[in-house]
Amino acid sequence: MKFDVDKDGYYGNFGGAYIPEMLYPNVEELRLNYLEVINSSSFKEEFDSLLTHYVGRPTPLYLANRLSEFYKTSIYLKREDLCHTGAHKVNNTIGQIILAKRLGKQKIIAETGAGQHGVATATVCALMGMECFVYMGEIDIERQKPNVERMRLLGATVVPAKSGSKTLKDATNEAMRHWISHPSNTHYIIGSVVGPHPYPDMVTRFQSVISKEIKIQLREQTSSEIPDYVVACVGGGSNAAGAFYHYLDDESVKLIAVEAAGKGNETGQSAATTVLGKAGVLHGSKTLLMQTEDGQVTEPYSISAGLDYPGIGPIHAHLFETGRVTFESVKDDEAMIAGMQLCKLEGIIPAIESAHALAILDKVKFKKEDVVVLNLSGRGDKDLDTYINWKENSI
């Protein structure tokens, strides 16, 4: 495929494995083994079986009638919000834990921002009986109490990241430091299409089940597997990578990635990396990165905790640079309005991350005959407080 990673781990100008020597053996072990393991028939069998019977896949592709009527086009929602644990994140953690087991690892570490990836990791660790440490910024631990409790209930140890800005990027730093100190028996389950090669490719492959299903379901429902648009939100970019993957080579499908513009791209409180970032290196890969002129990584802002990462996966940096994917950005308020609209029109409470994708329905001019597939990456139960507070403050 045209947009697949090359043999050196690059997507065009982005990617690679910028890691300290201490991590080299771990990452090299993965690089040498991941394709053979995940392409083996016994892996596929176990992965597919768990996705079906444990995660609840395939998730529905649902023609949202009232939403379609409102925007005068055909909108299909890919219901990743119906996955076990409430978001697409679990597709990746299932894949990686089977891989970790097959590589003989005993312990799992992960980073988490809002806690969704942490919960998805704690879940699969419980499922497989593996010890689990989740690194989470001290500030996020306070902001996301229910997910912290979920992880603990599932048996994981939540380790507060107290360094730097005490949020997602620092949790990632701490997880990497833990991995440096425990090189041989530990696997690091990165939660998005970020990190050193082969992580971006590996996570993309696990999430690509989303577009694989969309194709089948769309053919069943519309007699063509080809939509006019696929829309997804981007923080690190794992749900978007999964939703776009099987359409990347078909240029007739317009792909739209939606970033979080926070309070506005000109306010200094945004997470829209393609607007505000430039090429740089963080967490093991070269990608677009929000940073100061001196190359210090800056702290992004979004009302959605799952979108406030200062970079994007290298695959997305490449898709942006080549123009294959159109990047839009959506402000807090626009996302909240779109999220509430979905509640009222369709009886679905979306995660605020996914609400960012919904908000572009109001910005892009679709034709009546267009088929628009929107990846509803997660459900909004975790965001109730944010919805309620926003509603109260905006009246």
Partner 1 sequence: MNRINKLFKEREGDILSVYFTAGYPQLDDTLKIAKSLEEAGADLIEIGMPFSDPVADGPTIQESNKKALDNGMSIKVLFDQLKELRKEVSMPVILMGYINPILQYGVEQFCESCKAVGVDGLIIPDLPIAEYLKTHKTVFDKYDLKNVFLVTPQTSVERILTIDQHSDSFIYMVSSAGTTGAKTAFSEENTKYFKRINNMGLANPTLIGFGISNSETFQQAAHYSRGAIIGSAFIKLLATSKERDSISEFVKEIRGKMQDKRQKK
From the list 287, 303, 319, the residue with the least C-alpha distance to 356 is: 303
Q: Does 182 bind partner 1 (CB under 8 A)?
A: yes
Judge contact between 73 and 232, C-beta under 8 A: no
7 touches partner 1 (CB under 8 A) = no
Closer of 159 and 281 to partner 1 (Cβ): 281
Q: 281 pairs with which residues across the strands?
A: 286
Q: Which residues ranging from 107 to 166 are in contact with partner 1 (CB under 8 A)?
A: 163-164
State in angstroms the smallest separation of the CB of 171 from partner 1: 11
Return phi, psi of residue 224, to 5°: -130, 140
369 binds partner 1, rule: CB under 8 A? no
In the complex, minimum distance from the CB of residue 290 to partner 1, in angstroms, rounded to a whole number = 11
Residue 346: φ, ψ to 5°: -125, -5
Separation of alpha carbons 285 and 272, rounded Å: 18
Q: Minimum Å distance from CB 317 to partner 1?
A: 14
- Looking at 41, 252, 296, 393, which residue binds partner 1 (CB under 8 A)? 296
- According to the binding rule CB under 8 A, does residue 384 interact with partner 1? no
Q: Which is nearer to partner 1, 7 or 365 (CB)?
A: 7
**Token code pair at residue 281:** 């290196």
Query: Site residues for partner 1, window 252-291 (CB under 8 A)?
Result: 279-284, 289, 291
β-bridge partners, 289: 278, 311
Query: CB of 358: closest distance to partner 1 in angstroms?
Result: 32
Instruction: Specify the residue, 237 or 284, whose C-beta has the smaller distance to partner 1.
Output: 284
25 lines the binding site for partner 1 (CB under 8 A): yes
Q: Is 295 in the site for partner 1 (CB under 8 A)?
A: yes
Q: Residues in contact with partner 1, total (CB under 8 A)?
A: 36
Is residue 186 a contact point for partner 1 (CB under 8 A)? no
* Cβ closest to partner 1, residue 25 vs residue 146: 25
- Residue 20 makes contact with partner 1 by CB under 8 A: yes
Q: Is 200 in the site for partner 1 (CB under 8 A)?
A: no
Q: Which of 6, 183, 185, 219 binds partner 1 (CB under 8 A)?
A: 183
Q: Does 217 bind partner 1 (CB under 8 A)?
A: no
Active site residues: 89, 111, 377
Residue 286 burial (CB count, 10 A): 21
**Shortest Cβ distance from residue 334 to partner 1 (Å)?**
30
Q: Where do contacts with partner 1 occur on this chain (CB under 8 A)?
A: 8, 16-22, 24-25, 163-164, 169-170, 173, 176-177, 180-184, 279-284, 289, 291, 293-298
